[in-house]
Chains A and B, each alone.
Chain A
Amino acid sequence: MSWQLEIEGLGSDLPILEVFEFVDDLCALQVKLLDEDTAVPDIATATAPDSPVEQDGMDAAAGMAGDMSDQKARNAADKGSTRAASSLRVDPERIDRLINAVGELIINQSVISQRLQHANLPNTAELFADLDDYKLLAREIQEGVMAIRAQPVKPLFQRMLRIAREAADATGKVVELITEGEATEVDKTVIERLADPLTHMIRNAIDHGIEAPDLRTAAGKNRQGRLRLAARQRSGSIVIEIADDGAGLNRPRIREIAVSKGLVAEDAQLSEAEIDHLLFAPGFSTAKEVTNLSGRGVGMDVVKTAITALGGRVAISSQFGQGTTFSITLPLTLAVMDGMIINLGGQTMVVPISSIVETIRPKDADLSQIGLNNTLLRIRGEYVPIIDLAERMGQVATLRDMTDRVLLLIQTDSVPQCALAVDDIFDQRQVVVKSMQGNYGEISGISGATILGDGKIALIIDPEAVAQGNSVYAVTNSQNGRDVSYVAAC
């Protein structure tokens, strides 16, 4: 079943796509700008899946709607006509199998390079050049496979336009949603599992963040609230930002509620960031009354859980009276990442390269003691705390001289700079991430595991969690919870 509609007088396809956004998942929608000399104009063609034959046509159309800009341009250049770009519909399971096989290929590649390094071949052997080629090819295949799963965030963002409109109507507020970086491509699974948390955060921003029009005028702001939804790629990760220009977080009130719900002790000293993080505590709600949109107590903790499950994190920054920004950082791919292979007390571990700013072999003059057990590193006039990773990983703390060790300068979104002390750096390579949650459970400071060239397992360090273990906040919330959960799992 299919329909064709012709609409006159519109200069762009965007308004039509927005209107038909609600059928996005249900059928294939194809919007073409009308050529002046086209004999039979197809402006909008919608196909409902009812027979296998039709479905093929629909797939082609779906593919086309998906990657409009790029594919369309190429196609137009190739054929000089408006024929639909051909695309392929593949069972996701096949792609998953391919991804697994590529993962094994990468492991196998590291096995071979490790063997060869130990084989005492002359450095000039041609084999090494071939090995480098193999490495490059393996990486190319891996990137290619990942690209199959990547999709632009545009459909997701368009769905958010409707959510924002509905939320604004329900609360009687005037809100404009601006989207940026719609062409940013993210893994399909991530897009699917991001829809619910994003919906929730958009609703929250409109219900709690942006003030009613009268209040805004009184505060000297534009009547219309602005909500910005932006996606961009930053080194190994995707950052999605939801920023409103509303009232900002009312920290004294958040604290008050947290105390009344027994989430924090009354006399606890909390920093601003720690108060902000209370939003993610289970059962937390600031809404004075329960509305259709929010205030039912299922809230940001669900958002956080969903995003953590994807290997991402959420950070908040807020200025009272100016607005609040939530930024979600997600890994680019779920299966493979670039890692620094390190030695820690004889154990091989992996630190994600995306979080390492630089590696330093400290000189005596760069180090200064603070208290009994803590050392600071001076780097370009800044003082950065050093965390002994071995100690954090539960190995015996041997107060060794820091000058024997290598420091990894770590920078992440939610924690200030710190340096992780490790024993040695072996290598830098792609590793295949294996989850441990299924069989074992979560371990604080460890985000997963990988299999090395020799078949042994190396744990992947979560630098952010390790660094956060330093702050007071960890004691109130995550650390305790995690301790319980991993002991319980086995």
Chain B
Amino acid sequence: MSQLAELQKSERLEFVTLVAGGQNFCIEITQIREIRRWTPVTVLPHSPDHVLGVINLRGAVIPIIDLAAKLGFAKIMPTERHVIIIIAVEDRIIGLLVESVSEILGVDSHTVRETPRGPEDTTTRAILGIIPLGDDMTKIISLSTLLAPANQVAA
């Protein structure tokens, strides 16, 4: 997995851990722009289920995606307690709605393991690697895989 190798170039890695669809995930910290509280969105017409709508982030129009739904879990019913993580992926700025954000996790890069390859689905395909944490573990989300423009259609 070249994305993982790329990540392991640096010795020390930092992740922000979060909960989406009841499971632990984490996102590499350099991809995160900011974390903010849920605010109501403007709904987009004809949008897929996981796209909640757009918000105004200091003058820019940012789409908000339900991370749980995007990963194949049930949709999150957003309340004031839910959190939006603003991420930058390949020149695009996107907000991800998650259930909660827990902590910043610093690990040595060699502790990151490759995702064991089993039967693949939407979620496992977007997992870059896993980090064991005592009894538990957390999964690194590859944003570029998860949010890749699947097939660009020339207009």
Binding site for B on A (CB under 8 A): 103-104, 107, 282, 301, 305, 308, 347, 392-395, 434-436, 438-446, 449, 451, 455-459, 478, 481-490
Contacts and interface: CB of A to CB of B under 8 A. Distances in A.
A485 B152 contact: yes
Interface in B37-80: 40, 42-48, 50-51, 54-56, 59-63, 65
Contacts of A482: 153, 155
Contact of A451 (B45, B56, B94): B56
Contact of B47 (A392, A438, A443, A484): A443
B121 interface: no
Contacts of A489: 149
Most buried by B among A308, A444, A484, A485: A485
A449 B55 CA distance: 10
Nearest to A348: B42
- A-side binding surface: helix, strand, loop or mixed? mixed
A282 B152 contact: no
A441 B59 contact: no
B111 to A, nearest CB: 32
- B-side binding surface: helix, strand, loop or mixed? loop
Given A347-B43, A443-B45, A456-B42, A490 B153 contact: no
18 contacts: A282-B154, A308-B155, A434-B59, A439-B61, A439-B94, A443-B47, A445-B45, A446-B44, A449-B42, A451-B56, A451-B61, A456-B40, A459-B42, A481-B153, A485-B155, A486-B47, A488-B153, A490-B48
Contacts of B150: 487-488
A443 B59 CA distance: 20
A438 B94 CA distance: 10
Contact of B63 (A282, A439, A478, A483): A439
B48 A457 contact: no
B35 interface: no
Interface string B12-34: 00000000000000000000000
Contacts of A442: 155
A441 B147 CA distance: 12
Contacts of A485: 152-153, 155
Contacts of B135: none
A459 B61 CA distance: 10
A486 B155 contact: no
B90 to A, nearest CB: 11
A456 B61 CA distance: 10
A309 B109 CA distance: 43
B91 interface: yes
Interface residues of B, number: 31
Contacts of A103: 59
Contacts of A478: 155
B60 A434 contact: yes
B10 interface: no
B102 to A, nearest CB: 25
A458 B44 CA distance: 10
Interface of B: 40, 42-48, 50-51, 54-56, 59-63, 65, 91-94, 147, 149-155
Contacts, number: 95
B46 A444 contact: yes
A436 B45 CA distance: 13
Contact of A438 (B56, B59, B92): B92
Nearest to A434: B61
Contact of A459 (B44, B55, B62, B153): B44
Closest 6 CB pairs of A and B: A393-B45, A485-B153, A394-B45, A457-B42, A488-B150, A440-B63
Contacts of A451: 56, 59, 61
B56 A456 contact: yes
Contacts of B94: 439, 490
Contact of B56 (A457, A481, A483, A484): A457
A481 B151 CA distance: 11
A484 B151 CA distance: 8
Contacts of B56: 451, 455-457
Contacts of B54: 436, 440, 449, 457
A439 B61 CA distance: 8
A304 to B, nearest CB: 8
B152 A488 contact: yes
Contacts of B65: 490
B59 A104 contact: yes
A486 B155 CA distance: 11
A175 B63 CA distance: 51
Contact of A457 (B45, B55, B91): B55
A455 B59 CA distance: 9
Contacts of A305: 154-155
Given A308-B155, A438-B91, A482-B155, A490 B45 contact: no
A326 to B, nearest CB: 18
Contacts of A490: 48, 50-51, 63, 65, 94, 147
A369 B149 CA distance: 43
A341 B147 CA distance: 33
A485 to B, nearest CB: 4
Nearest to B148: A488
Nearest to A454: B56
Contact of B48 (A435, A439, A487): A487
A451 B55 CA distance: 9
Contacts of A434: 59-61
A120 B47 CA distance: 39
Contacts of B55: 457
B140 to A, nearest CB: 20
